[in-house]
Amino acid sequence: MENIFNNFGFNLSEKQLSAFENYYDLLNFYNSKFNITAITDRAEVYLKHFVDSIIGAKYIDGNFLDVGSGGGFPAIPVKILKPELTVVLLEATGKKCEFLKEVVKELKLDNVEIICGRAEEKAHDKFFREKFACATARAVAALPILSEYCLPFVKVGGKFVAYKGDAEEELRSAENAVKILGGTLDKAEKFDLRGNTRTIVVIRKKKTTDIIYPRANAKIRKKPL
């Protein structure tokens, strides 16, 4: 069988390959109960969830928070690839949190915490605010909204890594939000995921975020910065 990780330049150990295999089995087994993903075909899960999640891993270091993890993307694949990282997965839906706890237990992942809650609320908690070297998010919201969810968690000097499709328009529309929240665009690297454009957007936190952010979700959505 094709080793898709090799084809994208990742050389994984037997232990890592078997962790991905176990993760796939768990997704498959629990999908109907927890409603995690519309993608179920093995090759598609490996490409569109696993490889897609680890293409941004080179930008992720230190302790990181994954906002809106859903079934664990990108956090779990990144943790399998880089086991030295400390990870917090923040997810609003209780059922998905249950699934994530099952994954952490079954894959015996250490230094991984699952928090069930909403980003715009947790970011005002002193245990989370400006405490992370890195925040990540994939498929959660458009970049102006996502920046307001994620940048308040990041320490000054840290970064926010957003997994996006073709992001040119979103990058333009997020310029104002990123600036207001204390960030600056570091990099937007494009990847070709077998015909689909992916962009890893790296935003560096330069200044502390004003305590008024993030606002309540209704405000964030009605009037993005």
User: In whole angstroms, how far apart are CA 58 and each of 81, 85, 190, 200?
Assistant: 10, 12, 14, 10
Per CB under 6 A, 93 contacts ligand SAM: yes
Task: Give me the least distance between CB of 118 and ligand SAM, in Å please.
Answer: 4
Interface with ligand SAM (CB under 6 A), residue from 119, 133, 135, 178: 119
Interface with ligand SAM (CB under 6 A), residue from 51, 54, 60, 91: 91
| The token pair that represents 32 in the structure block | 């109907």
Q: Around 29, how many Cα atoms within 13 Å sit in the side-chain half-sphere?
A: 10
Per CB under 6 A, 92 contacts ligand SAM: yes
According to CB under 6 A, which residues from 130 to 149 bind ligand SAM?
138-140, 149
In the three-class reduction of DSSP (H, G, I as helix; E, B as strand; rest coil), residue 38 is classed as coil
Under DSSP, the state recorded for 123 is T
Per CB under 6 A, 27 contacts ligand SAM: no
Per CB under 6 A, 73 contacts ligand SAM: yes
Task: Give me the least distance between CB of 193 and ligand SAM, in Å please.
Answer: 13
b/e per residue, 163-201, with b = 16+ CB within 10 A?
Answer: bbeebeebbeebeebbebbbbeeeebeeeeeeeeebbbb
Q: How far apart are CA 17 and CA 31, in angstroms?
A: 21
| The token pair that represents 128 in the structure block | 């989370």
Task: Give me the least distance between CB of 78 and ligand SAM, in Å please.
Answer: 12
Part in contact with ligand SAM (CB under 6 A); list of ranges 21-29, 86-94, 127-135, 177-185: 86-94
Interface with ligand SAM (CB under 6 A), residue from 27, 51, 64, 69: 69
Binding residues for ligand SAM, per CB under 6 A? 67-71, 73, 90-93, 96, 118-120, 138-140, 149
